[in-house]
């Protein structure tokens, strides 16, 4: 990836105001990050992957665990099939040591608490995506 090519991010979060704030004020306000897909459920995320032309285009997925139609980790396999080199970051408020271990076994690359500072969230997306 060249320094001028922004990291392509998919954001999956069921609380629309929080999702939109993360997209607009945390990720897109940072140079080098571009949110190209947003979803509020597993079904919406899968539709975006299947019919949205996102295959091979995503660098990072930032996903919530508690979605209205299931656990966000159910997306990990779908994301990797569509984008083999994608980095998956869980952003959740329901993190306890055993759950973090389960997420690691499920193939999640990083875990962040929703109370992290916006700068830390953007920094982790950039780091995991290989953008510094």
Number of domains the chain contains: 1
Write down the residue that tokens 């408020």 correspond to. 93
Report how far residue 21's alpha carbon sits from residue 28's, in angstroms, rounded to the nearest whole number. Answer: 10
- What range does the domain containing 78 cover? 7-128
Handedness of CA 47, 44, 36, 13 (dihedral sign): negative
Please, are residues 67 and 88 in contact by the beta-carbon 8 Å criterion?
no
Say which CATH number the domain at 86 has: 3.40.50.2300
Q: Could you tell me if residue 16 is inside a domain?
A: yes
Task: Judge whether 56 lies within some domain.
Answer: yes
Q: Is 88 part of a structural domain of the chain?
A: yes
Each residue's pLDDT expressed in tens, for the chain with a length of 132 residues:
445 788 999 999 999 998 999 998 888 788 889 999 999 999 999 999 988 778 778 999 999 999 999 999 999 999 999 899 999 999 888 777 888 888 999 899 999 988 888 888 889 999 998 866
Return all residues near 2 (Cβ < 8 A) that are at least 6 apart: none
- Coil, strand or helix at 110: strand
The whole-number pLDDT of residue 11 equals 95
The DSSP code for 98 is: H
In a domain, 1, yes or no: no
Please report whether residue 2 resides in a domain.
no
What is the C-alpha separation between 18 and 94, in angstroms, rounded?
A: 16
For residue 118, give the DSSP letter: H
Alpha helix (H) residue ranges in the chain:
16-21, 42-51, 76-82, 97-105, 118-128
């Amino acid at each position: 990836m060249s320094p001028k090519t922004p990291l392509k991010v998919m954001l999956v979060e069921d609380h629309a105001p929080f999702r939109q704030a993360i997209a607009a004020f945390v990720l897109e306000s940072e140079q080098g990050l571009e949110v190209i897909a947003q979803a509020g459920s597993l079904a919406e995320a899968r539709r975006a992957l299947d019919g949205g032309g996102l295959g091979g285009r995503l660098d990072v997925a930032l996903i919530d665990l508690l979605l209205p139609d299931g656990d966000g980790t159910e997306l990990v396999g779908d994301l990797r099939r569509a984008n083999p080199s994608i980095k998956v970051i869980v952003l959740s408020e329901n993190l306890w040591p055993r759950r973090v271990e389960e997420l690691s076994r499920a193939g999640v690359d990083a875990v962040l608490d929703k109370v992290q500072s916006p700068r830390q969230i953007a920094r982790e997306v950039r780091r995991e995506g290989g953008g510094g």
